[in-house]
Chains A and B, each alone.
Chain A
Amino acid sequence: MSTSVTRISAVVRKEVTEFRRNRLILITAGVLPLIFLIESTVSLLAIKATATSAVLDKRVDSSLFLPLIVPVLIPAVMSAFSVVGEKEQGTLEPVLTTPVSTIEFLVGKALAIFVPAVVIAYLLFGIFMAIVSFGASQPVATAALHAPQLPAELVFIPLLAGWAIWVGIAVSSRVSETRVAQQLSMLASLPPLALVAMMSFQVITPSFGLGAALAGGLLVVDCTACFLVAQLFDRERLITGSKSDTGIIEGTS
């Protein structure tokens, strides 16, 4: 059976509606970016025009890195809830009795998190850049807008979000409590961020080649993670708590 866009969009619609009515998710998605925005903006606005270039570069590096945490943390929190949350509220079994395939179910879940997380992250960057352009002193604004790592960071936003989502869903499919899933998925989503941090803080020199290689690598990892999560999604284990001894009943992917 071919993958159905109708079923994927059904999962996306349902997820988004639920997120909109979930106070915890709204707070996470609203407050975290706000904190990073304020921190990054204030940090740059407070720099005096007479600051040395070393101080300026350091501040710009950290201010540009902080918003990159948003596309990792928000998806990590949201995706951790995706499967185990359904299991906890008893909705997983009814859904799995419908013709929805594993891949449709997982892609729907992932898209419902990916789109808002990436939109929020770009919005955050946009607002941050606008404030810095108009509010910061000229040398500071120039340093921020022409930072060598900026283009790479913008490319990394969706890739980091993708990684955090698949890791979160994988964890969520394997644990039995939402809280445990959130803690584990946050931890597991950090390694690629560390790599990006090294580039942002110029521990490794950001160049187009390096950025492209890292981005390409992360894209491959994201696609592989999607495939692996779908393969590891064991309906029988999720419903009964016992591993399937006779093969996973699927028939729809």
Chain B
Amino acid sequence: MPAAIEISQLTKRFGGRTAVDHVSLSVNAGEVFGFLGPNGAGKTTTVRMLGTLIAPSAGSATVAGIPLSPANAAEIRRRISIMPEAPGLYQRLTVAENLEYFARLYGLPGRQARMKAALDAVGLTDRANDPCRSLSKGLRQRTALARSLLNDPSVMFLDEPTSGLDPAAAHEVLGLIDSLRDRGVTVFLTTHRLDEAERVCDRVAIMSTSLRTIGRPDELRSRLFTRSLEVTTAAPLAKPEEAFDGQPGVSGWQREDPAKGGPAGYRLTVTDPAIAAPAVTRALVAAGADVLSIAEARRTLEDVYLKLIDDKEGAPR
């Protein structure tokens, strides 16, 4: 698959402070790519560099197939769109007037048809003549997304698109991002909301000034954490070693902190849960244990993120 974005050793310094430090990565065409990191990690600065708003201090990049340079800035801007964290709408203008202004700035032919298509895509056709100041935060975000769709970009940079939205509005925006994937648009999604990154992103990169890691969420989990089964029985097992040791797929186990008089928990390190779980279940039943639950411990992207971000001393992966 061709790369929509190629970044090599991209660096940005503001005076003595390094905001982005030698970041290299590649984003495939048509991919929804999550760019994660805590506040001040350099996410927005990276987007601004790729969007030709600010100049890199060092390194190089190709965006939408065009090398990043002052001479190519206008051409890159024509092929991409950026939706900043704040929608940045003209409050005194209507939704349609806001879109028309940007359609003119892009010099787009067939403005009305493009505006209609953009409004349809975000479900705002019936609000086209409403002043932006009268819109809710969610609707403003959708208007900004419609504005980003006007020039039919091949790469879209979305900077915290669900920031400040209630769960329902955030859900709608994520649905729209999903629809962008269906349209073949490459989405570079900057966020610190890990649940939404896990939901919509094909791959994610975790930043903290420098790149900490990159990969599919499940890849990152398996790369950083061993797989395990969580077993809960109604009462502590008299001889847990008899139930767990030597079972196929089980490489070790440990007792979780017990609650007094309550159910007992065990964490089993396994190589393959599909093999280990049935064998362990049979052994527990044979041992006369009352099994309350047995399930694979689910590591979230948040676990991956926290492990990497907390590990300040660790070398970039």
Contacts and interface: CB of A to CB of B under 8 A. Distances in A.
A249 interface: yes
B93 A17 contact: yes
Contacts of A248: 55, 70
Contact of A239 (B48, B104, B106): B48
B170 interface: no
A249 B54 contact: yes
Interface of B: 13-15, 45, 48, 51-57, 69-75, 77-78, 80-84, 86-93, 97, 101-102, 104-107, 144, 147
Nearest to B105: A98
B15 A99 contact: no
B15 A242 contact: yes
A194 B101 CA distance: 39
A21 B93 CA distance: 9
B101 A97 contact: no
A14 to B, nearest CB: 5
Contact of A90 (B51, B54, B86): B86
Contacts of B71: 251
A245 B49 CA distance: 13
Contact of B54 (A91, A94, A244, A252): A244
A169 to B, nearest CB: 18
A50 interface: no
A142 to B, nearest CB: 47
A52 interface: no
26 contacts: A4-B107, A6-B104, A14-B93, A18-B92, A89-B88, A90-B87, A91-B89, A93-B53, A95-B102, A95-B105, A97-B51, A97-B52, A97-B77, A97-B81, A97-B82, A98-B102, A98-B106, A99-B77, A236-B55, A240-B54, A242-B15, A245-B13, A245-B15, A246-B56, A251-B70, A252-B73
A24 to B, nearest CB: 11
B88 A91 contact: yes
A251 B74 contact: yes
A99 B48 contact: no
A154 interface: no
Contacts of A59: none
Contacts of A249: 52-55, 70, 73
A219 to B, nearest CB: 30
Interface residues of A, number: 40
Task: Name, among B13, B15, B53, B105, the residue most crowded by chain A CB atoms within 10 Å (CB to CB).
Answer: B105
A236 B53 contact: yes
A11 B102 CA distance: 9
Interface of A: 1, 4, 6-7, 9-11, 13-14, 17-18, 21-22, 89-101, 235-236, 239-240, 242, 244-252
Contacts of A250: 70, 73
A246 B92 contact: no
Nearest to A242: B14
A19 to B, nearest CB: 9
Given A7-B105, A18-B90, A251-B70, A240 B55 contact: no
A236 to B, nearest CB: 4
Contact of B74 (A1, A94, A242): A1
A95 B55 CA distance: 17
A245 B11 CA distance: 12
Given A235-B54, A236-B53, A251 B72 contact: yes
Nearest to A91: B88
Contacts of B77: 97-99
A-B pairs with the 8 shortest C-beta distances? A251-B73, A10-B104, A90-B86, A252-B74, A90-B88, A98-B105, A21-B92, A246-B55
A90 B57 contact: no
B148 to A, nearest CB: 9
Contact of B14 (A9, A10, A13, A240): A240
Nearest to B104: A10
A235 B89 CA distance: 19
B107 A6 contact: yes
A170 to B, nearest CB: 21
A7 B48 contact: no
Contacts of A11: 105
A114 B164 CA distance: 39
Contacts of A246: 55-57
Contacts of A7: 104-105, 107
